[in-house]
Amino acid sequence: MFKLRLFLLTSFSLIAFAANSLLCRFALKGTEIDASSFTSIRLFSGAITLWLLVCITQRQTIISGNWKSAFALFVYAACFSFAYVGLTAATGALLLFGAVQITMIGFGIWKGERLDFKKFFGIILAFGGLVYLLLPGISSPSLFSSVFMMIAGLAWGIYSLRGGGSKNPTATTAGNFIKAVPFSIILNIVTFEKINIDSYGFMFAVSSGALASGVGYAVWYSVLPFLKSTKASVIQLIVPVIASLGGVILIAEPLTLRIIVSSVLILFGIALVFFDRFQSTLKS
């Protein structure tokens, strides 16, 4: 029963991560809401949801977090929204998670982690997949939007690395969401002339913040202690696959050969790095 519960909760959190891409893309493509408003509503509703979860599930309501992590969270959320103005759900999720994992792998190398042939080959494959995805052509994504999404992945990687040692991740995440809201308000002030919100766009933004982000992150952090760190990193690679299928089925987005080939290269390359790390841990 424990393994089944762990599987179901893990599956829910991965679907929630993919849902963020689908909700954001559908809102910016199919409604009148602008990227700045989507970002602010998502962060605000996520902050409220996480704060309520902390109040309900924990005896002492201690909201932690810090401003540097909150700023990284804001950069991720804002760039994520602006990127999806011009990207499909599949391409955005692939760029995002590719950039996140490459950021975290790069941090490990910077900290002195050795590169054997498997790791080096895996990194080359992943970078090659990203380069192939962005090469000029009929089916290549918008370079402007792609850069925004890669910045979002870099910011999320930094945010994840900064929060890795938190003793109470749900409370920390709640605090970071709360502290990220003022940054989003500043963004709305700067882009005031372009602000536009309709009821459907508002609903998608709240769903992204409260359910896909707030509840999704809370569930993920609840199962994370029961997953090996390498396994947790590898299974996240399924998120772009879920987002791709969701985009094709729910939003009628095309699944091009370029996306399929780059997906295989990026995901297989990153998996090579983490599986090798997992095998090294077993041998030691």
pLDDT digits (tens, 9 = 90+) for 43-69: 999 999 999 988 888 776 677 788 999
Give mean pLDDT, residues 180-189.
96
Q: Is 4 within 8 Å of 171 (Cβ atoms)?
A: no
Mean pLDDT, all residues of the chain: 84
Angle between helices 89-110 and 239-250 (to 10 degrees): 170
For residues 39 and 118, give the distance between their C-alpha atoms in angstroms, rounded to a whole number.
Answer: 39
Is residue 228 over pLDDT 70?
Answer: no
pLDDT digits (tens, 9 = 90+) for 135-148: 766 566 788 999 99
For residues 162 and 104, give the distance between their C-alpha atoms in angstroms, rounded to a whole number.
Answer: 11
pLDDT digits (tens, 9 = 90+) for 240-279: 888 888 888 888 887 788 888 888 888 788 777 766 554 5
pLDDT digits (tens, 9 = 90+) for 194-216: 899 999 999 999 999 999 999 99
User: Model pTM?
Assistant: 0.84
User: What are the structure tokens assigned to 57, written together?
Assistant: 């599930």
For residues 68 and 172, give the distance between their C-alpha atoms in angstroms, rounded to a whole number.
Answer: 12
